[in-house]
Amino acid sequence: MRNILILGAGRSGTSMVAGTLAKAGYFMGEQLIKARETNPKGFFEDIEVNSINEDILARVVPRRPQFIPRKIRKYFFRKRPARGQRWLAKVPLNTKIPLTSDSKHRIEKLTSNISYCFKDPRFSYTLPNWRPFLDNTFFVCVFREPSITVESILKECRRAKYLHSLAINREDIFDVWTLMYSHILETHCFTGKWLFLHFDQVVTGNGLERLAGFAGANVDTDFPDIKLKRSKQYFENRSDSWQCYVKLCELADYKI
C-alpha cells in the first residue's frame, strides 16, 4: 500500500476520493475536520496538515495588518485570506516558500506514520515543502470542470461562517483554480508518480479501479454518491482555466 497525497482545488471531488480510501488502513491524521452540510460524508482533512500548510502559506500570502484591532480587522483588507482561508489564496508560479524549523518537525512527525494518506487543497502550492519528507508517496490530482468548481466555492463562501470575512468573487476563484492546477501541471507533476482523475470518472467511470491499482489499496466503491453531484454550470469558463482543464482531461484520459 503506497503513501498517498491528494491534490486539487477545493470543491473538486478530493474529499470523495479520500473517502474511498478511508477504510483501507491509511493514517489520515489524528483530528479530521467534521462533516457538515457541504460535505455530509466528511472532508477527510486533518487539522494539523491544514495548519502546517496555513503556516507555510502565511510566509508568502499577504496578511491583514496586525495593528488593526481584532474586532474590526475582519472589515479591512478583506481580499487577503485570513488564517483558515488560505486554500483560497493566490500563489504565483515559481514562488519559493521558505520552511521554518517548526513546520519541518511537524511534517516529519506526520510522515513518520506508516501508510499515510493526506488531503488538502493547499498541497497544490505547498508540495515542494513536503517533498523532502515523503517516502514511497504517490500523488492523486482530482479535478472537475472549472465553472462547476467556481460555483461550488461561491456557495461554500456564502454558507461557511469562517469564510464570511473574505471578499472573493467569481474572477478571484477562477484565478485560484487556474493557479493551483498550473502549479501541478507546470511544476509538480514532473517528479514522482501521478494519477489524474476527473470527478465524473470517480462517480460513474473506471476511476476507482485505476485508483485501487495506483495506490495498491482496497477502495470503497460504495462511497461515491451521485446524488451529491449538486453543482451545475451557470456561466462560461474562462479561457485560461479551460486550457488548463483540457490538459488535465488529457492526462486523465477523460473525453470532454
Report the alpha-carbon distance of residue 158 to residue 156 in Å, rounded: 5
Nearest to 119 by CA among 27, 248, 204: 27
pLDDT at 233 (0 to 100): 64
C-alpha cell at 149: 468548481
CA angle at 140 for the pair 198 and 123, rounded to the nearest 5°: 110
pLDDT at 154 (0 to 100): 94
Reported as half-sphere exposure (CB side, CA atoms, 13 A), residue 48 has a value of: 16
Render each residue's pLDDT in the chain as its tens digit; 256 residues: 999 999 999 999 999 999 999 999 999 999 999 888 878 888 999 999 999 999 999 999 998 877 667 666 666 788 999 999 999 999 999 999 999 999 999 999 999 998 999 999 999 999 999 999 999 999 999 999 999 999 999 999 999 999 999 999 999 999 999 999 999 999 999 999 999 999 999 998 899 999 999 999 999 999 997 766 656 666 789 999 999 999 999 999 999 8
Confirm if 113 and 25 have CB atoms less than 8 A apart. Answer: no
Domain 3-252: give its CATH architecture.
3-Layer(aba) Sandwich (3.40)
pTM score = 0.93
Nearest to 9 by CA among 91, 68, 96, 130: 91
Residue 141 φ/ψ, nearest 5 degrees? -105, 120
pLDDT at 102 (0 to 100): 97
Residue 78 pairs with which residues in a beta bridge? none
